[in-house]
């Protein structure tokens, strides 16, 4: 992975979304371990592969997004450029004014405390809440309530994450609970199947993409993530869709922007 370190923000935009300003996506959750950083890292990568100019912001002091998305080459810098996307480490004041007109998408990996979530929710166009079980579903309700309080216009998207691949009965019950939650709050639900697998764990450990791991599980996870990136591209970008052929071609040759 090629990492270019910068001391100042210096980005020339080649805007390809529908708006004059960046679409701001917040990945939020009240519970740790639901896959916020996992979704943030892969959405940054996939949206970049769709030729959007993307900034990923790590708003958690642990710096997990900076570590994973840089292939563990992060040495504490506030700003990095990594193979087609930029990364910002910002854990205090979420001031997006220097970047709002320079990017197509800004993806914020939020921390799980009330203060952090409140700051992110004030800025976002889309709040994505990953859920991985009953406890995180209860936490999702809390995030939705906070969003209604601080930013009534934000679109809420629930993403079903870390499925228990062998327990079909449990997965079906959780799906029905999520559908009821979405109906109650009149929000969107994206029922992708991200299985809690060895591919996911190895990807995080090694700073890789989950779909890079061989076998059915890696491809299944990759297909789910691609569907989410394509949804965002269709709703908020220029509508270009990513498939396996294009993804692997770009992984091999590098991202090229016109």
Q: How far apart are CA 108 and CA 26, in angstroms?
A: 5
User: What would the pLDDT profile of 104-126 be if each residue is shown by its tens digit?
Assistant: 999 999 998 888 888 999 999 99
SS (H, E, C) 33-51: CCCHHHHHHHHHHHHHHCC
Residue 166: pLDDT band with limits 50, 70, 90: low
| pLDDT for residue 123 | 92
Residue 129 has pLDDT above 80, yes or no: yes
Where does residue 50 rank: exposed (0-12), middle (13-18), buried (19+ CB within 10 A)?
Answer: buried
Query: Residue 165's pLDDT is what?
Result: 64
Beta partners for residue 200, in sequence order: none
- Per-residue pLDDT for 223 more than 90? no
Enter the pTM of the model: 0.83
Residue in 195, 146, 147, 189 with CA at minimum distance from that of residue 170: 195
User: Which is higher by pLDDT, 211 or 65?
Assistant: 65
Q: What are phi and psi of 26, to 5 degrees?
A: -105, 130
What pLDDT does residue 6 have?
35
């Amino acid at each position: 992975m090629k990492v270019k370190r910068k001391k100042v923000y210096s980005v020339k935009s080649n805007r390809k979304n529908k708006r004059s300003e960046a679409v701001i996506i917040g990945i939020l959750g009240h519970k740790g371990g639901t896959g916020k950083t996992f979704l943030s890292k892969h959405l940054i990568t996939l949206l970049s592969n769709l030729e959007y100019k993307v900034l990923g912001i790590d708003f958690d002091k642990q710096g997990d997004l900076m570590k994973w998305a840089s292939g563990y080459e992060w040495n504490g810098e506030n700003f990095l450029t990594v193979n087609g996307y930029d990364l910002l480490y910002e854990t205090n004041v979420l001031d997006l004014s220097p970047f709002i007109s320079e990017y197509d998408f800004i993806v914020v990996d939020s921390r799980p405390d009330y203060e952090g979530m409140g700051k992110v929710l004030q800025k976002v166009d889309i709040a994505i809440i990953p859920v991985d079980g009953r406890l995180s579903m209860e936490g999702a309700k809390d995030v939705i309530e906070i969003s209604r309080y601080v930013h009534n216009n934000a679109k809420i998207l629930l993403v079903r994450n870390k499925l228990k691949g062998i327990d079909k009965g449990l997965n079906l019950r959780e799906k029905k609970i999520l559908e009821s939650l979405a109906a109650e709050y009149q929000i969107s639900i994206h029922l992708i199947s991200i299985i809690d697998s060895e591919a996911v764990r190895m990807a995080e450990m090694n700073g890789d993409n989950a779909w890079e791991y061989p076998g059915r599980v890696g491809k299944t996870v990759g297909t789910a993530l691609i569907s989410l990136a394509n949804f965002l591209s269709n709703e908020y970008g220029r509508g270009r869709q990513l498939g396996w052929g294009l993804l692997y071609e770009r992984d091999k040759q590098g991202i090229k922007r016109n």
